[in-house]
Amino acid sequence: MSITIKDVAKKTGVSITTVSQILNGKGQRFSEKTREKVWSAAEELNYKANYFAQNMVTKQTQTIGVIIPDITNTFYSDMIKGIEDYLYENGFMVLLCNSTDNEERENLYLNQLVHRSVDGFIIASSTISDEMIFDLLKKNDKPYILLDRKREEHESDNIIVDDTEGGYVATEHLITLGHRNIGVITSSSSDVNVHNRFVGYKKCMEDYGLLMKEEWIMRETLSMSGGYEAAKKLLQADVSAIFATSDQLAIGVYRAASEVGVCIPEQLSLIGYDDIELASYMSPPLTTIHQPIYEIGKLAAETLIHRIMNPEEAAKNHLVKTRLVVRSSTKVL
């Protein structure tokens, strides 16, 4: 079988206690000589403490569970990348849970993660229920971060993106360009963040005293095809501009517009939200609201690890800024 602590002990001629202590940096009390002997023996044998035996007593797994709705959406894969990069640097690994927005699957995964006693959770899901989070995590003092979902009432650390503000700025940009009939595509699900962008739109339209016709407001699944379907309808309505509350949706709009021969931005101004890498590669390049997705992932991981290391510290809120990135898909009316 593989090398155990016994082998190292035998080879060095000391007890396993000694080996364990020294290898875990708790061996100040041993002589310099013994310490050296143990270290070199361990190295020579290429000894690695058995992961499971170790965890059985320490209860630590150096693992973070990440639950997201759709890995295929570059929004989430960018986020995961940020998470993973930070965790890698800090010796943690991620157990990936792609819930496909399926509540049952989400619950199952959450239970699995608890069962496998991951050290912390990053959850970017709007469908997961508060009860679930309370029962499984809060109650048992498991560190977690909720992303892509703003809930002031949660007493955990929060990464907050001011989506209402972002939605406002996007809408205002179109208004400034002279647009009055502005359509919007938002999420049909209970996605809090995306919903807030829509709230920002409404607020802005109201502030400027503009009309919002019911047929200008589309609710769809957050995907390219969702955006495509919504845009097909919007292009029948009398809108001169569209605010797509995610870049994925915006991509669908490009397709719908090109199919019916509507030119962006000449005949239709389009603004997205997220600023995924692809945005600047569309033709014309997409005007959008930038949010630092990769950094958000990184920040989430960082905050979580900090919480794990310092369980007693008070929860902190991190505010993330968005900004308007003007490219070529919007134009004065």
Partner DNA sequence: TTGTAAGCGTTATCAC
Partner DNA sequence: GTGATAACGCTTACAA
Q: Where are the alpha helices (DSSP H) in 90-176?
A: 103-115, 130-133, 163-176
Establish if 266 lies at the interface with a copy of itself (CB under 8 A).
no
* 5 interacts with, out of a copy of itself, DNA, none, CB within 5 to 8 A per kind: DNA
Among 129, 236, 280, 310, binds a copy of itself (CB under 8 A): 280
Establish if 284 lies at the interface with a copy of itself (CB under 8 A).
yes
Closest CA to 173 of 291, 270, 249: 270
Tell the smallest beta-carbon distance from residue 95 to DNA (Å).
20
By rule CB under 8 A, what string of x and - marks binding of each residue 222-241 to a copy of itself? Answer: --x---x-------------
Q: Residue 38 or 282: which CB sits closer to a copy of itself?
A: 282
Closest CA to 115 of 90, 89, 97: 97
Q: Residue 52 or 312: which CB sits closer to a copy of itself?
A: 52
First-to-last C-alpha distance (Å) of the chain: 74
Torsion-angle region of residue 279: left (phi > 0), alpha (psi -120 to 50) or beta?
alpha
Instruction: Candidates 15-23, 156-164, 229-237, 274-282: pick the segment binding a copy of itself (CB under 8 A).
Output: 274-282
Residues 52-111 that bind a copy of itself (CB under 8 A): 52-53, 55-56, 63, 70-72, 74, 77-78, 80-81, 84-85, 88, 93-98, 100, 105
Handedness of CA 92, 95, 99, 104 (dihedral sign): negative
Handedness of CA 102, 103, 104, 108 (dihedral sign): positive
Handedness of CA 144, 149, 152, 153 (dihedral sign): negative
Which residues of this chain interact with DNA, rule CB under 7 A?
1-6, 13-18, 20-21, 23-24, 26, 29-31, 33-34, 47-50, 53-54, 56-58
Q: Residue 23 or 204: which CB sits closer to DNA?
A: 23
Are the C-beta atoms of 265 and 284 separated by less than 8 Å?
A: yes
